[in-house]
Every structure is written in structure tokens, then in C-alpha cells.
């Protein structure tokens, strides 16, 4: 089983969507987690809504801190948190400098969601 961690600042949008896609695409072969360098404590309702459009339910997710995450990973993907992200043990590390869709309109939010889906699919094929 591959372990993958997705990290963004609030753990409310991008990293939550990536975790959802990784679980969906990877199934039982992937343990996908997400966390934030400064978690907001809540998932953005837009993330829940726009992921539901593609059949992925984030309603049971919660915003988590990096302090709650432990162990080694096959991949750690950061999403624009820059210096706020500590080093985490991983075979593969990558930064996806994705825009935070929090204030985007519907089309913009969907575009970020779809970009994340494509990147997650490519990452899992690479692992």
C-alpha cells in the first residue's frame, strides 16, 4: 500500500480534494491523508459541493493539523504553503503551486478541482 500526504495551508480546499481523489482513484492500494500548516478547522462547503459533482463525498472530512500526522510517506505533495510546511519523510516530494480556489467563481473552482484530479491520477501512476 502506498501512503500519500497532501498539504495546504488551511486543509480546507485543495488538499482535501486531492485526498478525496487519491482515495477514489487508488482504492485499497492507497492510504491518502491531508493536513494543513495552519488548519482552518472546517472544510470549505464549496469543496464538498464541487467534489460531490464528481461523485466524491467530503462531508465526513475534517480540517487537520500537520501535528496530527505521523509516519513515512511514499509521496508528500504541498500545495502552495511554502515556508510554513516542515520537512516530512517521503520518498517523493513535490509542490503543486495551485491557486487557492476559495474565492473563485464556479468555473474557476471546477478548473482547480479538475487540475487536482489530473495531477493525482498522474502521481498515483508514477508511484
Q: Which of 17, 35, 85, 116 is catalytic?
A: 85
What residues does each domain of the chain span? 2-126
pLDDT of residue 50: 97
pLDDT tens per residue, the chain (127 residues)? Answer: 999 999 988 999 999 999 999 999 999 999 999 999 889 999 999 999 999 999 999 999 999 998 899 899 999 999 876 555 666 778 888 989 888 899 999 999 999 999 999 999 999 999 9
Rounded to whole angstroms, the Cα distance separating 25 from 125 reads 10
pLDDT of residue 83: 52
Q: Which of 66, 81, 116, 123 is catalytic?
A: 81
- Report whether 83 contacts 65 (CB < 8 A): no
Residue 119 is a catalytic residue: no
Residue 85 is a catalytic residue: yes
What distances in angstroms separate CA 60 from CA 17, 35, 43, 76, 114, one per listed residue?
13, 15, 9, 22, 21
* 2-8 β-sheet, strand order: 30-36, 2-8, 73-78, 90-95
Indicate yes or no: pTM above 0.75.
Answer: yes
**Annotation: CATH topology of 2-126:** Rossmann fold (3.40.50)
Amino acid at each position: 500500500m502506498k501512503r500519500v500526504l497532501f498539504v495546504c495551508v488551511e486543509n480546507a480546499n485543495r488538499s482535501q480534494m486531492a485526498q478525496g481523489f487519491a482515495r477514489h482513484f487508488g482504492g485499497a492500494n492507497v492510504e491518502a491523508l491531508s493536513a494543513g500548516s495552519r488548519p482552518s478547522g472546517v472544510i470549505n462547503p464549496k469543496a464538498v459541493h464541487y467534489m460531490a459533482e464528481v461523485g466524491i463525498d467530503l462531508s465526513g472530512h475534517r480540517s487537520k493539523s500537520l501535528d496530527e500526522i505521523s509516519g513515512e510517506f511514499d509521496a508528500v505533495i504541498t500545495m502552495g504553503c511554502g515556508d510554513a510546511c516542515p520537512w516530512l519523510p517521503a520518498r517523493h516530494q513535490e509542490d503543486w503551486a495551485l491557486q487557492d480556489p476559495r474565492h473563485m467563481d464556479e468555473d474557476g473552482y471546477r478548473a482547480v478541482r479538475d487540475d487536482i484530479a489530473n495531477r493525482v491520477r498522474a502521481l498515483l501512476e508514477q508511484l
